[in-house]
Structure 1
Amino acid sequence: MNTTNSVGDSSFDYSALNKKADSKTSAMADQQETFLKLLVKQLQSQDPMNPMDNAQMTSQIAQINTVTGIEKLNEAMTNLLSAYGSSQSMQAAALIGKQVMAPQSSFEFDPEKKLEAGVTVPSDVSQVAVAIINKDGKVVDEMSGSVKPGEFLPFEWDGSLSDGTKAEAGTYYIVAKGINGEGKEVALTVNGWQQVKSVEFAKDGVQVNLASGSKVGFDTIQQVM
């Protein structure tokens, strides 16, 4: 039977856990040491009557400092992104079982209550038009107006039609379009309330699985109920 090392087993080599990090630090230190040795050798070998220009020496020292600074900056950014990813994963896990406002195209309308939805408005869009379409592809209601660029636009539909009647219960589709700064028409994302069933921690980011069967990115969630 296979056994695993216990916490107190002295045969386990804990130093192996830090070998990767130590090798990175050692490589950076070796690079600096090599540069300084070359610089000292250059100073020792220079012609006393024609010494190295101070500006040239300062430039070389600045170069190695720049390389070292970039290495440290990259390491800091990697640690920051790792911490952000962990934080995002914890936030996503807390959504399980809750209702969220996420991308959705079809809605089940109940005449006894209002249909709630929302439009994601890009930062370059200030005019939005929304169309509600029945299962036969007919536009049953429309709304439009000016909006604040980059602001999430929530709205409700009570099923009232232009002829004064009430829309029947069933499946409806909502399509939204906007006019950007160049005067071009662009399709906008429509969102609806959906329950979160589970979350996935993928390489390309946190994915949220919804009760409707769709999967959306965690960064597309607009509101949480």
Structure 2
Amino acid sequence: MASGISNIAGAASSTASTSSKAIAGNFQQFLTLLTTQLKNQNPLDPMDTNQFTQQLVQFAGVEQQLKTNDRLDSILTNSKASASATASSFIGKTVTADGTKTTLSDGKASWTLTPARAATKALITISDSDGNVVATKSTTLAAGSQSFAWDGRGSSGLTQKDGTYAIKVDALDATGSTVAVDTSVTGTVTSVDLSGSEPVLAVGTAKLLLSTVKNLAAAGA
């Protein structure tokens, strides 16, 4: 009789791998069958109590895990729907997001630089979408947030074509110690990509993850 219960539990485990709803739905049927077997077991060869208890606990554990997974799926679905709705509302608004890449348009591109402390020497390097360095500039940086504007002119003096460009800042303080510099970009959101696990905002040709946005304002504000 004990082997009969094992076969049922084994069949249930197999079903779990293919259909969680089927196992959850058959849980009551399993208990009914198990109760019937207990009522009709051979008095001379009764079911082992410990084995019966272990099998029952295992099956109940499987069912509980399935229900937990269903709840988590529901939470994730609702969370993604909420994030998508929030991201869609950003279209037409100006956002500031963490990142190094921004868009050069009509000879204008800008980043917000925030050094950890004042830097007496800072080398700013700007690269195109292929990673080629197109411009460099040596400057100083005051403590706190500040804007860095680029007119699109490369080191050769030629104006670069519109597109996505990345900035890199290597800074040193008065003692020669390295200064960390956070970079962020600002622009107007033109569209939102909801196909991935996280919404992606299009700002010109730059792509920004929703989670990197740290400031939102009405267009032109």
Q: TM-score, normalised by structure 2?
A: 0.56
The answer for the alignment partner of 1:171 in structure 2 is: 152
2:141 and 2:40 map into 1 onto residues whose CA distance is: 81
Residues 88 and 107 of structure 1: CA distance in aligned 2, closer, same or farther (over 3 Å): closer
* One-letter amino acid of the structure 1 residue matched with residue 89 of structure 2: A
Question: How do 1:77-156 residues align onto structure 2 when only pairs under 5 Å count?
Answer: 77-102=72-97, 103-105=99-101, 117-118=112-113, 131-133=123-125, 137-141=135-139, 155-156=145-146
* Paired position in structure 1 for 2:12: none
CA distances 1:11-30 after superposition (whole Å, capped 9, x unpaired): xxxxxxxxxxxxx8972454
Change (3 A) 1:26 1:192: closer
**Taking structure 1 as reference, are residues 49 and 141 closer, same or farther at Cα in structure 2, changes over 3 Å only?**
farther
**Which amino acid is 1:196 matched to?**
V
* 1:194 correspondence with 2:187: yes
Conserved 8 A contact 1:116-1:155: no
Verify: 1:207 aligned to 2:200, yes or no: yes
User: In structure 2, the residue corresponding to 1:222 is in which secondary structure?
Assistant: strand
- State how far apart, in whole Å, the 2-side matches of 1:206 and 1:50 are: 62
Pair 1:106–1:95, CA change in 2 (3 A): closer
Q: 2:125 is paired with a residue of what secondary structure?
A: strand
Contact 1:132/1:140 (<8 A) preserved: yes
1:74 equivalent in structure 2: 69
The alignment-based identity, stated in percent, is 23
Output the aligned Cα RMSD.
4.1
**Per-residue deviation at 1:202?**
1.0
Q: Report what 1:60 is aligned to.
A: 55
| Paired AA for residue 52 in structure 1 | M
Q: 1:193 to 1:203 in 2, by over 3 A?
A: closer
Q: Distance in 1 between matches of 2:60 and 2:95?
A: 48
Q: Structure 1: where are the runs of 5+ without partners?
A: 1-23, 109-114, 122-127, 146-153, 160-168, 179-184
2: CA distance, partners of 1:136 / 1:156: 22
Question: Residue 18 of structure 1 corresponds to which residue in structure 2?
Answer: none
Question: Does residue 222 of structure 1 match 2:214?
Answer: yes
Q: Do the aligned residues in 2 keep the contact of 1:96 with 1:199 (CA within 8 Å)? A: yes
Check conservation: 2:100, 2:168, Cα contact below 8 A: no
2: CA distance between counterparts of 1:158 and 1:105?
A: 13
Tell me by how many angstroms 1:93 deviates.
1.4
For 2:92, give the aligned amino acid.
G
Query: Aligned partner of 1:63: which letter?
Result: Q
User: Aligned partners of 1:77, 1:130: CA distance in 2, in Å?
Assistant: 48
Distance 1:136 1:72, change over 3 A: closer
SS at match of 2:185: strand
